[in-house]
Each structure stands twice: as C-alpha cells, then as structure tokens.
Amino acid sequence: MTSWQSLHEGWTLTAVRGADVPEAVASARIPATVPGCVHTDLLAAGLIPDPYLDEHELTLNWIGRTDWCYETVFRWDGGAGDARDGGAGDARDGVDADRVELMCAGLDTVATVTLNDVEIGRTANMHRSYRFDVGGLLRAGDNVLRVRFDSAYRHAEAEQRRLGDRPNAYPTPFNFIRKMACNFGWDWGPELVTAGIWQEIGLRTWRTARLAEVRPLVTVVDAEGRVSVRVAVELAGDGAAADGATPAAPLTLRAGVAGQVAETTLAAGQREAELSLTVADPELWWPRGYGEQPRYPLTVTLHAGDRELDAWQRKVGFRSVRLETTPDEHGSAFTVVVNDLPIFARGVNWIPDDCFPHRVTRQRYARRLGQACEANVNFLRVWGGGRYESEDFYDLADELGLLVGQDFLFACAAYPEEEPLAGEIRAEAAEQVVRLASHPSLVLWFGNNENIWGWHDWGWQAELAGRSWGAGYYFELLPGIVADLDPARPYWPGSPWSGRPEIHPNDPAHGSTHIWTVWNQLDYLHYRDYLPRFVAEFGWQGPASYATLRRAISDPRGLAEDSPAMAHRQKAGDGRLKLARGLAAHLPAPRDFDDWHYLTQLNQARAISVGVEHLRSYRPICMGSVVWQLNDCWPVTSWAAVDGDGRRKPLWYALRRAYADRLLTIQPRQGGLALVAVNDGGTPWTGRVDVRRLTLAGEPRGKASVELSVPPYSEFTWPLPAEVAAADDPRAELLVADPGGDGERAFWFFAPDRDLRYPPAEYDATLEPSQEGVVRVRVTARTILRDLLLAPDRLDPAAEVDEALVTLLPGESTTFTVRSTAPLDPAALTTRPVLRCVNDMLPQP
Ligand code: BMA
C-alpha cells in the first residue's frame, strides 16, 4: 500500500532577491501557509495591506518582481509514516524496498526544489503536477525542503525577449509563461503576480509499482443505455525488487463499477493495460432540470499477489455527449447534445473566484455554484485566462448537474509554439485531460479564448511577421491529445470559432460566437440584431453591491462615480463612458451616487435580460446563451452577476427570471410584436395567456388572449394582434402578458424610461412581523412602480433579499423577504435609497 505524508507544516518564507523589497520584508523570516502564496503570507504577517482594498494593489507590484524562498524542516522516520500498511522502508519482508517521491500538486511557477541542499527539480508551469524521486536523499530525522520561486514577471519577460514579442490584448507578458493569465491583471482583475506552493505537497511512499495514470472512458453504447467503461491504466515502477529481481507475485489490476468487475494480470515488464466493463442497465446522468445525477464509484486497484499496492477511486456518471455542428439553412449549429437530447445552454462564464486560488475552499465553490443553479443556470464555461478548475469544482458540478465547457488555458494573446513552452503545453494538456476525464459534467473542451479571432481581426498577422501564435496548439496538438486520451469528449478549437477557416471565426451564424460590439459600441437593444447559434460570451457591466464597495473603499468620499477609488475598480477600456452611454439611452440622469449605483446595476440587468430573452426566443436556431460573467475575484465594477464579496447583484435576479424553465417574453418580430413562450422544461406548457395594453396609470386600452400548448424543449411564437401591438401613446402605455398557471409575467414598454411619462412613484411599505433575523417588507403600489429594488446590504452587510427588480401595477403588492444578522431600521428599510424604483427619481407630487 502507498502512504502519504503531507508537508504542509512549518513553512517560512523569505525574500531572496528584488529591487523594491521593503526593509521589513527583506529582513524577515515570514511564517508561511502551504498551500498558499506569497501575497497571502505577507498579508497574514501584517507586512502588506489587503490588496483588494482601496488602491493598495498599486503599491504591491514589487511582489511579482521578487524572488522568494519557501522552506520547511520535516521529520522523516525512515518510512514508517502515517497511514502505512506493513510498515518499514527497510525491505524487511525481503521482497522489495520503498520508493519515496515528493509530490507537488501545484507550484506557482518558476521553481527550484532542493532537499537537504541537493537540487531535485526545476519547474516552470503552474498547471502541472510534479513528482521527484527523493528516496536517496532523505535522512532519518530532520530534512530541509526548500522551494525557491524566481520572479514570474522576470522569467516571462526574458522569454519574451528571447522568442520575440507576440501580440497580446494586455501590456503584460502572460503569454510567455504557463501561469494563470489574469494574475497579470485583466479588464476585471487586479495585477497581483503570485508565487507559492499553491496546491498540496507531500511524500508518497510506495513499493514495487503504483498507479501512475488512470483514464476512464465512459460511453453509452446503445439505445438501451448500455454503458461501456474502459479504464486505461499506466503504472510507474519496474515491479521488481530493490535488487532488480522479478517480483515474487505477478501484478494484477482490478476495476469495478456498478457491481461489475474486470481483472487482468500483467506480464513481466508490462506497464500499460486496459480493463473493460459493461454495465447493462445503469441510471443515466442528466444535466440539471433534465433528470437525476446518479454517480457510480469506479475503483481501480493494483495488486502483487494478495498485497494491494495502490488504489484509485472516482465517481463517474453515465451519459453520452456530442456536439451537433451540422451546417443547415441558418449556418452551422453549435448544440450540446446529452443522452441524445439537445440542450439549450443557459450559461454563465466562470473566472477564478479569487486572485489567490488556494482561498477558494470547497465550501466557497459550493456556494458559488449554488448561486449559479439558483439562477437557473445549467452551463458554465471555465474561461481560458484562469485555471483548469479544481476537483472540488468538478465534483460539485457533477453532483449539481451543471454542464461545463473548459477552455485550455490560452486567452486574448498570441502564444509562442517554440520550446520550452510547447513541451510544457503538451505535458500540461495531457495531464489535465486525464485528470478531468472522469467527470460527467465536463462536456466540451475549447482550445482557447479569442485567440483565433485575435489573429484574424486584431492586427496580429502584421505584428507577428510570420512568428508562431498558437495555431499548432489549437488545430493539431490539443485536438490530438483529446482524441488520444479522451476521445468521447468533444473538442472545439476556440471560442469563438466558426468551424471552418474560410468562415470568419466569430461569424454568429457558425459555431460559438462572442458578442462584444454591443457593450463596446452600441446600445443593448442591438443584441436583437443577431441570430447566432451559440453565444459563448456577451456581457454588460454594473458596479459591485453597495456593501462590497463600502468594505473596499475606506474613505466615504470614494463612493462617488468619478472618484479615484471607483476609477481603480474600473479596469475596462472606457468602462465609465460605456456605462454612461448605456444609461443615457434608457434612464433618467442620475443626480447622485445612489442614483448612479441603482441605475447602472439596473441597466446591467436590463441589458442581459434583453440579450438572454432574445437568444432563448430563437431556439432551436440558437442553442446557447453564456453570459459574461457569473463571478468576480475582488470588489470591482464588472460584467459579473455575483460580486467579489459573493453578493448577488440585481443582474443575478434578472438572470434567474430570464433563465427560468418557462419564459414568457415579448419580442419585436417583422415590424410588430410577438409573444414568445419558451418551454425548457420536460412537461408541456399549457394554459391561457392574457395580454393587456394599459396606460401607465393602469387603465385598460386593449386586450388579447392565446391558449398555450408548448411541448417540452420548444418555443411558441404568437404575433400580437394590432389592438395590443400598437400603442395610442407610446410614452404612456405598456403591455403586460400574464400566463395562467406557471411562468412569470412579461412586460413591454413602448419607449425607454427616460421618455416615459411615469407618474411619480407612490406606495405603502409596511413591515410584517416574522421570526428572528427575518423581516418581510410588503410594498403596495398606488402608482406603477418600475423595477423596485430593496438593497438591505446598505443597512447590514450580511443582509440578503429574496427578490429584486419587481414591477408593480397600481393596486398590486409584493413582499420582499430580508434575512439579516442585525436589526434593520424600519424607516430606512422602506425608503430611498434602500427601497427604490425607477420612477422615484421623478419629483414627488
Ligand atoms: C472577453 C473575455 C475576457 C474579457 C471580457 C470582457 O474578451 O474573454 O477576456 O474579460 O471579454 O472584456
């Protein structure tokens, strides 16, 4: 049996070399946390301020330009460590001796590892794991392990000089080093170039042989759902005794899943084998909303005679997946098909949830993925400027039935294909494809983020002057690796990518597309100009929640739209102008920061609702709407639905509505309007929908009804008759579509808010008694109230509300449920700026 001694204790950190290291750091031996990184160690030691607060980021650049050394002293007792089976490393049983390896699951990034002053390895890839044979170097008693990290910045710059510069959307050399790209700063992220032992580290002791690689290939083989599980296994170790003699017993591999067992005995010297199992009648794994997510433990064990040498276990799920990309009259499809059912991807993009990834615990992943599920999301795209997501992430995605598209880690830049980068990428990709192969949630690999588009459109070709940019990775290396190691999993060379070199890579009619022209240059109503097949990115910015900003900005004067503190939290090109342009097209001008904060958050929610509802209304031509972005890594103004402190922005609530199984929406069609009912649930949607045309004062002007009968996974479009489709006075009327039974009401306003003749908001708001920590706020409208928002985090940072952006007609009521840790002031809870709506911006009567 193998044993494991983790080496997470007793670490210290010292600055080895760097021009701008502060004196207090230069002379210190700093207690270090492993897994961890330099920034969080310095923070814990009180040697730097929190990089996420105020403008501290700007003062911490030296960290990424410094060389650091981690050191620990650990005891080695000759191999009789914890969890051992059979004890000694002294070949007592006369068969063979122990092998001891130092296992580093992740080193960030340019590391030199020494044990007892002997160099045992050098690494330069954050996305690989390493094993170093250390048996001969260990001493009984104390051993000194050091991991020295050279400045990632300097390393990348040296490679950049050596290889010649390559185009990059950002002014940093992240494309010359295999390290999380957004560490170098992004248009939503701070520049915090980390170093450290970012994943677990320890000693693995084994003898004779161990499982070096286990690769499960699960395929559903026939219509009856029979499943084939092939397990490819590679062994390490020569299987021989320490003296080189053959082992006493032959090696045997055993695999088991769902009550089936396969076994094979290896010939002397055989290091690779494949075991095959067939499961006759398994329960299939389904995406959330389509069925259950049963998983089956798959176990592989390695034996020498009756001695178990090593064991491996993962939970697998049985499902088929393919990507439907056949050309048709609209272009070429891009549809994820699971268990032969085409799935509309109600998606969001995922970025690293923290600049310091070791801080993202399983609990935090669970919370964040839970927030995605509660917003009716069924698809996550893990973006290529971050990381190959963790076991916890994928395990939770499997459990929750979330589908995942994982980018290989290339984003927004040309990547050299020269050595040693090419070799690093080959090794990294092979390792990650194997590591993630067991997860049913992983349905798609993308070759990169926006690099093919960049090469095509962003002036790269001239700049490159013939130098390599990554094409060999996206079109040859990576598809080859996926086809070899995990052939049942679809691969797509990039996002965006049209499927064919002769078609523009970002052609919306072909493959996966990104729609950024709208946010960058146009108004959000222009989402409706597109008839895409699968939108893997589109987004609209909004600021973080109020409590998040208050925590991040210590000077209250920083809470101003034009403050340096807010400018520091706006990393997007012309972001402030784009926010202002978006507001001006729709909403009344903000008078103060509170207005600005509410309106920009509201506009973000409106923009994405327009986009999502439009895209869903065109199913099955369009089969994916993947919003940029679910999460943030720090407190920032960004496209995220959940901010850097984990608070849900109004966009989150809007997404939950727009991504509901049953969506009722009013859409422009052929010069008029249509009611579209999208049914993404498994049962038919029937019932009557009443569409009323009303004045803003609530007086009826026209009415029409339709009987719905929408089969599962389909849509129904009903052109609205003239009496509701056209307003007598577009500035003073709206449409309301109410479904009988299930589904949410849909609204249509004939003019933007800034042109509407709203009555000034009038309402009664009362608190309803409830249990401790819960307050219900009941709002009864005396006039129309457009997009009511209750922001209890303004009163208690821990307070949360169950609903947001509710529109009420005169006489209607709604109840918000607020959970808080502190008593909330009733007067504040029922008035502006905590409770507000669009038409409270108008003068009160
Ligand atoms: C796309 C993404 C990210 C970026 C986002 C917003 O380019 O792939 O690189 O953060 O747009 O600009």
Q: Within this chain, do residues 401 and 457 fall inside the same structural domain, yes or no?
A: yes
Check residue 79 and give its pLDDT: 58
CB atoms closer than 10 angstroms to residue 812: 14
Q: Within this chain, do residues 484 and 529 fall inside the same structural domain, yes or no?
A: yes
Measured by CA distance, the residue closest to atom 6 of ligand 1 is: 187
Check residue 87 and give its pLDDT: 36
Q: Among 176, 205, 234, give the residue marking a domain's end.
A: 205
Q: Among 755, 778, 810, give the residue marking a domain's end.
A: 755
Q: Is the pTM of this model over 0.85?
A: yes
Q: Are strands 321-324 and 335-338 parallel, antiparallel or unpaired?
A: antiparallel
Note the pLDDT tens digit of each residue in 690-717: 999 999 999 999 999 999 999 999 999 9
- Radius of gyration of the chain from its Cα atoms, rounded to whole angstroms: 29
Range from 171-185, 187-201, 732-746 carrying the lowest mean pLDDT: 732-746
Q: Within this chain, do residues 469 and 614 fall inside the same structural domain, yes or no?
A: yes
Q: Among 316, 351, 386, give the residue marking a domain's end.
A: 316
Residue 367, CA distances (Å) to 362, 626, 643 in order: 9, 20, 13
Q: Within this chain, do residues 269 and 302 fall inside the same structural domain, yes or no?
A: yes
Q: Within this chain, do residues 218 and 254 fall inside the same structural domain, yes or no?
A: yes
Query: Cα(452) to centroid of ligand 1, in Å?
Result: 14
Q: How far apart are CA 400 and CA 373, in angstroms?
A: 8
Asked if the model's pLDDT at residue 92 lies above 50, the reply is: no
Question: What does the H/E/C string look like for 707-758?
Answer: EEEECCCEEEEEECCHHHHCCCCCCCEEEEEEECCCCCCEEEECCCHHHCCC
Check residue 742 and give its pLDDT: 78
- Tell me if 668 is assigned to some domain: yes
Asked if the model's pLDDT at residue 245 lies above 60, the reply is: no
- Tell me if 633 is assigned to some domain: yes
Task: Tell me which residue of 682, 658, 775, 643 sits closest to 371, measured CA to CA.
Answer: 643
Note the pLDDT tens digit of each residue in 469-503: 999 999 999 999 999 999 999 999 999 999 999 99
**Tally of domains in the chain:** 5
Note the pLDDT tens digit of each residue in 389-422: 999 999 999 999 999 999 999 999 999 999 999 9
Mean pLDDT for all residues in the chain: 95
CB of residue 417 inside a 6 A radius of ligand 1: no
Q: Are strands 672-679 and 714-719 parallel, antiparallel or unpaired?
A: antiparallel
Q: What type of residue is 158?
A: A
More confident residue, 62 or 135: 62
CB of residue 628 inside a 6 A radius of ligand 1: yes
Burial of 419 (0-12, 13-18, 19+ CB in 10 A): exposed
Note the pLDDT tens digit of each residue in 602-643: 999 999 999 999 999 999 999 999 999 999 999 999 999 999
Q: Given the CA of residue 187, which atom of ligand 1 is nearest to it?
A: 10
As a whole number, mean pLDDT of residues 649-675 equals 97
Residue 830, CA distances (Å) to 525, 777, 800, 826 in order: 33, 8, 15, 6
Would you put residue 223 in left (φ > 0), alpha (ψ -120 to 50) or beta?
Answer: alpha
Asked if the model's pLDDT at residue 236 lies above 70, the reply is: yes
Q: Within this chain, do residues 284 and 347 fall inside the same structural domain, yes or no?
A: no
Check residue 241 and give its pLDDT: 52
Task: Tell me which residue of 258, 208, 253, 250 sits closest to 233, measured CA to CA.
Answer: 253
- Tell me if 560 is assigned to some domain: no
pLDDT-based confidence at residue 98 (cuts at 50, 70, 90): confident
As a whole number, mean pLDDT of residues 85-103 equals 58
Asked if the model's pLDDT at residue 83 lies above 70, the reply is: no
Query: Cα(475) to centroid of ligand 1, in Å?
Result: 22
pLDDT-based confidence at residue 225 (cuts at 50, 70, 90): confident
As a whole number, mean pLDDT of residues 131-155 equals 97
Coil, strand or helix: which one is 336? strand
Q: Within this chain, do residues 376 and 464 fall inside the same structural domain, yes or no?
A: yes
Query: Cα(631) to centroid of ligand 1, in Å?
Result: 13
- Tell me if 590 is assigned to some domain: no
Q: Within this chain, do residues 749 and 780 fall inside the same structural domain, yes or no?
A: no
Query: Which residue is listed with tokens 């990034």?
Result: 109
> Measured between alpha carbons, how far apart are the two ends of the chain, in Å?
80
CB of residue 188 inside a 6 A radius of ligand 1: yes
Asked if the model's pLDDT at residue 94 lies above 50, the reply is: no
Contact 627, 348 (CB under 8 A): yes
Task: Tell me which residue of 669, 835, 686, 650 sits closest to 761, measured CA to CA.
Answer: 835
Q: Within this chain, do residues 30 and 104 fall inside the same structural domain, yes or no?
A: yes
Q: Given the CA of residue 639, which atom of ligand 1 is nearest to it?
A: 6
Contact 265, 214 (CB under 8 A): no
The preferred substitution site among 187, 512, 516 for testing ligand 1, maximizing ligand atoms within 8 Å of CB, is: 187
Q: Within this chain, do residues 348 and 475 fall inside the same structural domain, yes or no?
A: yes
- Tell me if 287 is assigned to some domain: yes
**C-alpha angle with apex 234: 228 to 240, nearest 5 degrees?**
135
Asked if the model's pLDDT at residue 34 lies above 80, the reply is: yes
Q: How far apart are CA 732 and CA 753, in angstroms?
A: 10
CB of residue 412 inside a 6 A radius of ligand 1: yes
Q: Given the CA of residue 572, which atom of ligand 1 is nearest to it?
A: 12
The DSSP line for 87-133 is: --SS-TTSS--EEEEEEES-EESEEEEEETTEEEEEEEBTT--EEEE
Q: Which residues contact 609 (CB under 8 A, 6 or more apart)?
A: 654, 655, 657, 658
Measured by CA distance, the residue closest to atom 10 of ligand 1 is: 187
Query: Cα(450) to centroid of ligand 1, in Å?
Result: 9
CB of residue 186 inside a 6 A radius of ligand 1: yes
Q: Within this chain, do residues 91 and 235 fall inside the same structural domain, yes or no?
A: no
Residue 152, domain extent: 3-205
Contact 277, 262 (CB under 8 A): yes
- Tell me if 116 is assigned to some domain: yes
What CATH number should be reported for the domain holding residue 425? 3.20.20.80
